[in-house]
Amino acid sequence: MPTILMCPPDFYGIEYEINPWMSRSRASDTALARQQWEALRALLTSLGCEIPLLTPAKGLPDLVFTANAALIWRDVAFLSRFRHAARQGETPLDEAWFQQHGLTARSLPEGMNFEGAGDALFCGETLFGGYIIRSDARALQWVAGEIGCRVIPLQLVDTHFYHLDTCFCPISPTAAIWHPPAFDDYAQTAVREHVPELIAVNSHEAARFACNAVVVGRHVVLNTGCPQLEERLSERGFTTHATPLDEFIKAGGSAKCLTLRLDGEDAAQWPAPAAT
């Protein structure tokens, strides 16, 4: 059964500004955020997912974005080391949750920033990593070294697309959705070289977080306002499910950011553990 970690938005809000979407003068509506989060959870449940919950905590408004808790590989959770102090308090809570639920929580060496599945996504056996805005390239290299997989570090150039999962979304081991202008030229070439089938989203839909989609088998869950991407996914045999997540876009997040797949993404083919 697909298992996806979520965290209820009890203490969600815009309390600081660490990306261009966030403005303390544009507060989120608590009731509406709750409703949108519940609808996302209900949708994923209806697709057959089990949704364990992380307990929300006051003073950690971004804890709802469980994609940033860790990168999951088999039973290992490579914990985030957040770049911004405002989010660093999340990590001990994430670590405790993973430990209590049978995963091995591992920390990166000190001094390396890493923001979990927000910046590290498997497409097939290759780990694609976003760097410079939040995660460090050497953190991605370190994690890939521990796993024993190939890593393709991709430099992100637009602060609106500050995490890889805001501009790149593997949908199968050989296909991904992406927004090319979010990457430098070298990264664009690398993506084209390593992902056989690419679906580019336009700027308008990218700003609706089209790339921040949750893939469950042949189903894709995403924010509303991305009709062109929905059409292109339907042509490829995917069933799309749009659900409004505007309250979370105020913090720079959407469907994918609000979830962390614990049993392996559908697009991931994890390599066998590295010999130690």
Q: Could you give the residue numbers annotated as active site?
A: 163, 257
CB of 26 to ligand ARG, least distance (A): 13
Asked if 49 contacts 259 with a C-beta cutoff of 8 angstroms, the reply is no
Residue type, 232: R
Cα 119 from Cα 71, distance rounded (Å): 9
Kindly indicate which of the ranges 23-31, 39-47, 63-71, 229-237 contains the residues binding ligand ARG, using the contact rule CB under 6 A: 63-71
**SS3 call for 120:** strand
Residues 177-236 that bind ligand ARG (CB under 6 A): none
Nearer residue to ligand ARG within complex by CB, 225 or 253 = 253
DSSP conformational letter for 139: H
Collect all residues with Cβ–Cβ distance below 8 Å to 84 and sequence separation of at least 6.
16, 18
Burial of 271 by CB count in 10 Å (0-12 exposed, 13-18 middle, 19+ buried)? Answer: middle
CB of 17 to ligand ARG, least distance (A): 9
Cα 105 from Cα 94, distance rounded (Å): 9
Collect all residues with Cβ–Cβ distance below 8 Å to 128 and sequence separation of at least 6.
120, 121, 122, 151, 152, 154, 164, 168, 170, 191, 194
Kindly indicate which of the ranges 36-44, 99-107, 151-159, 160-168 contains the residues binding ligand ARG, using the contact rule CB under 6 A: 160-168
CB of 248 to ligand ARG, least distance (A): 8
**166 binding ligand ARG? (CB under 6 A):** yes
CB of 276 to ligand ARG, least distance (A): 30
CA-based max dimension of the chain: 52
Token digits of residue 16? 């600081």
Cα 130 from Cα 152, distance rounded (Å): 9
Burial of 89 by CB count in 10 Å (0-12 exposed, 13-18 middle, 19+ buried)? Answer: middle
Nearer residue to ligand ARG within complex by CB, 22 or 245 = 22
CB of 66 to ligand ARG, least distance (A): 9
Asked if 5 contacts 69 with a C-beta cutoff of 8 angstroms, the reply is yes
**251 binding ligand ARG? (CB under 6 A):** yes
**165 binding ligand ARG? (CB under 6 A):** yes
Number of residues that bind ligand ARG (CB under 6 A): 16
**62 binding ligand ARG? (CB under 6 A):** yes
**129 binding ligand ARG? (CB under 6 A):** no
* Dihedral sign computed on CA atoms, order 85, 169, 195, 172: positive
**68 binding ligand ARG? (CB under 6 A):** yes
Nearer residue to ligand ARG within complex by CB, 76 or 167 = 167
DSSP conformational letter for 274: P
CB of 189 to ligand ARG, least distance (A): 24
Interface pattern 81-120 for ligand ARG (x via CB under 6 A): ------x------------------------------x--
Kindly indicate which of the ranges 49-57, 62-70, 100-108, 194-202 contains the residues binding ligand ARG, using the contact rule CB under 6 A: 62-70
**257 binding ligand ARG? (CB under 6 A):** yes
Q: State the residues that interact with ligand ARG by CB under 6 A.
A: 18-19, 22, 62, 65, 67-68, 87, 118, 163, 165-166, 251-253, 257
